[in-house]
Amino acid sequence: MRDIMLKELKLSASPLAFIFISFGLMFLLPGYPILCGVFFVTLGLFQSFQTAREANDIVFSVLLPIAKKDVVKGKYLFVSFIEGCALVLMLMATIVRMTVLKDSPVYRSNALMNANLFALGVAFFIFGLFNAIFVGGFMKTAFKQGKPFIIYIVIAFLTIGIAETLHHIPGLGALNAFGVENIGLQIVLLLAGIFASVVITLLAYHKSCRDFELVDI
């Protein structure tokens, strides 16, 4: 499995997938929907899948002396690695905003979602959606990418819109907490986002393994 992962990183991946990790730092931007950073990271992954497809990466992979399910595992490991790197940047940006910049006027006056643990939990959840909708959709045919990515875009931005709206609803202002305000609630929501992302990704992975076994390369 180490070899298939190295193949993904060195041969299959587009440079854009690595460059777009930097969009995780969008969690530092005031007056901007910070969860769009999650989308841009997945856009880099989409470009990587597209580049690999045009290079017949799937055909090359199935010709290797590995099981077809290992090809799927390699894709999911690569995607999870890129997402994990972006999440580290998002976490670093969130910690800075929750500590050093928690009282900064430019953030306090921001009407959009604040960077806190709830926002990070939503980021995890959106990555899980990408893994299920786009990666899972791609592995059904190992070729078609447009439809699953469009479906993902619609659902991802609906999720972002809902997350941005929630703290404006009376009684839900705690979701936009600054610093360590309502830290207990923030931690619970972060853990819920992580749990949902892991479960969604694992279910998508197992379904993708079954779907890819039926694909005639």
Q: What pLDDT tens digit does each residue of the chain (217 aa) get?
A: 777 888 888 888 999 999 999 999 999 998 899 999 999 999 999 999 999 998 888 888 888 888 899 999 999 999 999 999 999 999 999 999 999 998 899 988 888 999 999 999 999 999 999 999 999 999 999 988 999 999 999 999 999 999 999 999 999 999 999 988 999 999 999 999 999 999 999 999 999 999 999 887 7
Q: How far is CA 151 from CA 48, 104, 146, in A?
A: 18, 37, 9
Q: How far is CA 2 from CA 21, 67, 72, 142, in A?
A: 22, 14, 14, 22
Angle between helices 68-98 and 183-213 (to 10 degrees): 160
The rounded radius of gyration (Å) of the Cα atoms in the chain is 18
Question: What residues make up the domain containing 108?
Answer: 2-213
pLDDT for res 170: 93
pLDDT for res 158: 98
Cβ proximity of 81 and 217 under 8 Å: no
Say what the pTM is.
0.95
Domain count, the chain: 1
pLDDT for res 66: 87
Residue owning tokens 């993708």: 208
Cβ proximity of 126 and 83 under 8 Å: no
Give me the long-range contacts of 27-33 (CB less than 8 A, separation at least 24). Answer: 27/89, 27/90, 27/93, 27/94, 27/97, 27/115, 27/119, 28/93, 28/96, 28/97, 28/115, 30/106, 30/107, 30/110, 31/106, 31/110, 31/111, 31/112, 32/112, 33/112, 33/113, 33/160, 33/164
